[in-house]
Structure 1
Amino acid sequence: MADYNVVRRRIEAFRSDEIVLDPKDLRQVRQRLDALRITMTPLATSTRLGLHRYRLGGLATGVESLDPGLVARVRAAAAGTYMEGETPAPLDLLLFHLREASAAGHRGYQPVVAKVRVYENIEGSPYSGGSAGDPQPIPAFELRPPSESTRRRPRIGILDTPLHPHPQLAGRYLLGTPDALLPEQEQQVSFSGHALFVASVAARQAPDAEFVIYPVLDAKTLTTGSWELATTMVGTLDDDLDMMIIALGGATADGREPLVLARACERTSGIVKVAALGNNGQNRAAAPEGTQFSELPPNTPIWPAASSTVIAVGARNEAGDAAAYFSPTLEEAPWTDCTAPGMHLPGLFLPGRVWMADLDVVAGVVKVTDRWADFPAPGHATWSGTSFAAAYAGGAIAQKAYEQGVSVRELADELFWEDPDRAPTTFDSAAPAGIDIVRFMK
């Protein structure tokens, strides 16, 4: 179904009339589109990604002139990805045609052209997430103060919603963009506190870290495009980051890494990237009554977590002996790199009355519910989800590197990539009032 210029399916969501294209293939693609009377309007260029973004005009009419057997070939090539009632979109047909025609004429060569994907907040959407419960108020607590060391502190980018300027986080963060702070709102909605909660969970593990806030998620729909996410990622190259914590993601119908995101991950290789595995686990027996489960099967890779260049973090249950009910297991998601506590974690939150919200995936809008809670100022809460497990693990890694006097990159390489046959590693970097352990798994 298309809405707000977005095609939304059970597995994937993408802009219905936009493409990204490597300039090397511009001439070939333009010739084929001209033949179909499909226009290309430039929207943006990123030299750091090496990609152009275009809007297509006349797409639906243009693909009507293609081989009538194209639909059947697309469905056959994507077996299992279309659910009952779903059909290939005009953009699906066009991209398949471009690749098929090029491969036939150039000994298998396919142009580098792809969709502009839609990614969503891991907590906020049953499309890529599922219900892991609403935030709940708790008594106030203090963050551990930074050490007295004068060495350069690890710098962690938080790619998420705008940040509520909580007084307890003051002095620990910088703004990556002018609009990185949450504007005043007449009605406070739960998801508006997401970036703050993520940053504070990381700060509880990494009191010596400095955070940089990048508001990539739209405050009303809790979505972002792969282009916006990717250009923000490569834009951080100006900000001397050691790590990014990315608590958002999306799936692809073919299970492959999206082009734009793959480029961004490759071109920020010096920055450690930690991402949430996704709340699409399906352990119904362990879930509270009334849990809303994700429509995504638990063995669906969520990007960027599934990327080979990213540390994918799943959530453990409170006992620490199994995956949380909303987190895919290691058997379901073998791209998991580590697990961390992810249930009822304490963090900083919005003060005052906060209305809980759900994301209506079909409409692409956040709907405020009749559920609410009062959070005494300055705002503290518990919340559950793989977003917060990722924040916990990212903070623990950064703090451990700082304490050892090595770079975050060096420690991450040692833990995850240098010895693939090494047994699982466990270390406890929690604060005295912390939660549990981070368990690294190969």
Structure 2
Amino acid sequence: MTRYRHRAGELLVHADDCAALAAGLAGFGYHPAGDTGGVRRFTGTRPVPDVLAALGRRGAGPHLLFGLDRIIWGDLRPRPTTDHLTPVPAGDIRHWAGVIDTGIVLRERRPHEFLGERVHYDPEDTVRVVRGEDGNPAGSAGHGTFVAGVVLKQAGPDVGVRMKGVVDEQSGDAEDLAVANALDDLREEGVTLINLSFSGQTFEDTPPKAIEAALRRLSPDTVVVASAGNRGMRQRVYPAGIKLAPTVPGQVDDKHALVLPVGSADSSRTPRVADFSNFGPWIAAYADGVDVVGPYFHPGYPVQPPEEEPKFNGYAVWSGTSFSAAIVTGRIAAVMATGRSARDAAGEVLEAAGRITVSDVNGNSEVPHVQGN
């Protein structure tokens, strides 16, 4: 049993390493099966962990899967609320926040009323609701709508969400290559602020090859906000944990996009790190992540037993670092609307944020705490 999740029978190799590795991979029965964005895919039948163990650190890696950690089937399920959000009609949208997620749920060919015309999507970025035996959603379909709504809550009518639907609506899985392709699409569209609300562990704690390569192709003024995971652990997860260049205190890296890992804070009393949130010195900021209100499905769905109150009213409360990341993304987008670049806006948001005390084996540290609207 391996701790990382991956596609069986698939390996990824950077194009520059193919010549050196092709013969060795062929010896294990793995052969080229296509490429995308500088990464080559090899397929075979021998178990991936066995091949990687035999190759050692020689450049090949699994085709990794990431997911919506614990927030669908675990302790962090969406719950009904009596709160109701007032939709903000779209204005002259000049700033788009890219959201790579499950896609947008449509009802009568329209997105949730709170998103309205402030969300842009292609047909492949919509999502089918998978229903269980009780007729209620059995997967992750509502996650993309909720994340998009939390982003839009933080900003005015001149900010919109550009949705890219790559997370599977039933399993909650996102493939390394699919995320990389979505990042490339957003780069080509000129989007410089991107939200990634999923995470996972990787082979030997190394960055996922395709996503890392795609992040390196982003322009230096791009900011990628990524959720830090909901396992309550210190270990780095990805893609939030990707570092594109060595960090030098006080020095700004102007050659690569900025990746901001975001954990969850519990503000129900003196702000502290939420019990479920991952933590550690690799996390750049924390944002409110407990009982966040956002758009879910239409009123009355999911259906609940007659005795249960309140009923779903089209909105929900949901907890997780997914929504903490969305808050930070939305706050950055709001500052971008005043004419700042994504990188400058991120700096302003973190500088103006409060502070939360984080304690671990290295002692206490003060980390930015971004509060949501």
TM-score range, shorter chain: 0.7 to 0.9
Aligned-partner Cα distance in 2 for 1:12–1:245:
22
- 1:160, CA displacement in angstroms? 0.9
Aligned-partner Cα distance in 1 for 2:206–2:18:
23
Structure 2 gaps, min length 5? 106-110, 244-257, 356-367
Aligned counterpart in structure 2 of residue 92 of structure 1, from 30, 42, 49: 49
- 1:38, CA displacement in angstroms? 1.4
Q: Percent of aligned pairs with the same residue?
A: 24
Match of 1:166 in 2: 112
- 1:427, CA displacement in angstroms? 6.4
Count of aligned positions: 329
Aligned-partner Cα distance in 2 for 1:373–1:267:
47
8 Å Cα contact 2:89/2:118 also seen in 1: no
Match of 1:344 in 2: 291
Does structure 1 residue 45 correspond to structure 2 residue 35? yes
Aligned-partner Cα distance in 2 for 1:138–1:276:
27
- 1:209, CA displacement in angstroms? 1.2
Q: Which runs of 4+ in 1 moved over 4 A?
A: 413-416
Which protein shows a greater Rg? 1
Aligned-partner Cα distance in 2 for 1:195–1:13:
22
Amino acid corresponding to residue 353 of structure 2 in structure 1: T
Does structure 1 residue 335 correspond to structure 2 residue 285? no
Matches within 5 A, 1:24-63: 24-34=16-26, 36=27, 38-42=29-33, 44-46=34-36, 49-57=37-45, 59=46
Aligned-partner Cα distance in 2 for 1:133–1:321:
22
Match of 1:181 in 2: 126
8 Å Cα contact 2:194/2:224 also seen in 1: yes
The worse-fitting range, judged by mean Cα deviation, of 24-33 and 215-224 is 24-33
Aligned-partner Cα distance in 1 for 2:130–2:204:
40
Query: Does the C-alpha gap of structure 1 residues 191 and 427 become closer, same or farther in structure 2, counting only changes over 3 Å?
Result: same
After superposition, the C-alpha distances for 1:266-310 in whole angstroms (9 at most, x for unaligned) are: 1124421101111111xxxxxxxxxxxxxxxx0121101112241
- 1:321, CA displacement in angstroms? 1.7
After superposition, the C-alpha distances for 1:189-222 in whole angstroms (9 at most, x for unaligned) are: 1632111111111111012311111111111211
Structure 1 gaps, min length 5? 2-8, 60-89, 101-109, 282-297, 357-370, 417-423, 429-437
Amino acid corresponding to residue 155 of structure 1 in structure 2: W
Match of 1:197 in 2: 146
- 1:28, CA displacement in angstroms? 2.8
TM-score by length of 1: 0.68
Amino acid corresponding to residue 231 of structure 1 in structure 2: N
Aligned-partner Cα distance in 2 for 1:217–1:140:
27
After superposition, the C-alpha distances for 1:334-368 in whole angstroms (9 at most, x for unaligned) are: 11111111111111110223169xxxxxxxxxxxx
Aligned-partner Cα distance in 2 for 1:392–1:324:
15
Matches within 5 A, 1:12-411: 12-34=4-26, 36=27, 38-42=29-33, 44-46=34-36, 49-57=37-45, 59=46, 90-99=47-56, 110=58, 112-124=59-71, 131-145=75-89, 153-164=94-105, 165-175=111-121, 177-183=122-128, 187-189=135-137, 191-207=140-156, 208-269=158-219, 270-281=221-232, 298-308=233-243, 309-317=258-266, 318-329=268-279, 333-351=280-298, 352-354=300-302, 374-376=311-313, 379-403=314-338, 405-411=339-345
Aligned-partner Cα distance in 1 for 2:72–2:87:
29
